[in-house]
Amino acid sequence: MIIAVANSKGGVGKSTLAVHLAAWLDKQGHRVTLADCDTQQSSSQWIREAAPQVKTLCMRDPDTIINELPLLAEETDYVVADGPGSLAETSRALLLVADQAIVPCKASMLEIRALDAATKVLRQAQKIRVGPPKATIVLSMVGKNYRLTQDMREAAALLKLPITPTFMTLRQIYADAPGQAAVVWHMGSRAREAAVEVERLFRELLPEAVASSHPAGRKRQAAAT
Ligand SMILES: Nc1ncnc2c1ncn2[C@@H]1O[C@H](COP(=O)(O)OP(=O)(O)OP(=O)(O)O)[C@@H](O)[C@H]1O
Ligand SMILES: [Mg+2]
């Protein structure tokens, strides 16, 4: 399965989500590859340190993405592709081959309104492919006491994009994680709430990937206990 973390808006939390998702899927016992499709290559560097078992490669050329990403997906259980902050052609290529798209978005009306433009390429891909990729919004960098308002719900509904019940809260620990070459569940008690939050979020996004729901993960869990 190819999962693209995509929003053509920069700095919305794509790489933070992609690295945690790839490391979490690995923890559930899957074979995972992180395809870093951003020019900054920050996520591939981060995951190499935080979860070295996850394979990484950098892919920015649209032709390479269209030709090689599906082949890569045959050799691995999950490919998590970290999309670029701009580069429409790279995003387009990614969304033409992805099975699922996760769209991180900051929680403000302005950002949700900007999503219409930022997800244009997503809708083009869905139109060409008559359906896929299945796309979901994850609100990111959300204030601790934030509640989803009706106008936000309506704006997302207009775009036909569901929002996960769990958000990624604005927490210093997420910003500290790459500098410490870690993912939040390896960062001790200070990161506990963040670790619980991402676990809940990924279970919502990919219930079938949870270790206890597939044979390889159950075996790995049994071996660990
Ligand atoms: N939930 C969060 N709480 C606090 N800081 C965060 C959170 N998520 C991301 N950040 C920080 O915000 C900045 C942007 O995040 P990130 O690099 O993940 O976004 P991006 O969408 O991949 O950006 P780009 O479009 O430039 O690739 C980084 O400094 C990151 O550490
Ligand atoms: Mg990024």
Span from the CA of 156 to the centroid of ligand 2 (angstroms): 23
| 73 within some domain | yes
When pLDDT is cut at 50, 70 and 90, the band that residue 79 belongs to is: very high
pLDDT at position 200:
98
pLDDT in tens, 179-224: 999 999 999 999 999 999 999 999 999 999 999 888 877 777 777 6
138: domain CATH number is: 3.40.50.300
Q: How far apart are CA 55 and CA 66, in angstroms?
A: 19
Contact 163/156 with Cβ under 8 angstroms? yes
| 219 within some domain | no
| 218 within some domain | no
| 83 within some domain | yes
Q: 141 in ligand 1 pocket by Cβ < 6 Å?
A: yes
Span from the CA of 1 to the centroid of ligand 1 (angstroms): 24
Q: Give the closest residue (by CA) to ligand 1 atom 6.
A: 175
Over range 75-87, report the average pLDDT. Answer: 94
| 67 within some domain | yes
Atom of ligand 1 nearest to the CA of 82: 22
Q: How many domains is the chain built from? A: 1
Q: How far apart are CA 113 and CA 100, in angstroms?
A: 22
Q: Give the closest residue (by CA) to ligand 1 atom 18.
A: 13
| 220 within some domain | no
| 116 within some domain | yes
Span from the CA of 106 to the centroid of ligand 1 (angstroms): 10
Q: How far apart are CA 90 and CA 83, in angstroms?
A: 8
pLDDT at position 225:
66
Q: How far apart are CA 70 and CA 213, in angstroms?
A: 25
Domain span holding position 129:
2-213
pLDDT above 90 (res 37): yes
To test the pocket of ligand 1, the residue of 16, 41, 201 to mutate (highest count of ligand atoms within 8 Å of its CB) is: 16
| 224 within some domain | no
Q: Which ligand is nearest to the CA of 178?
A: 1
Residue 10 backbone phi and psi in degrees, to 5: -85, 155
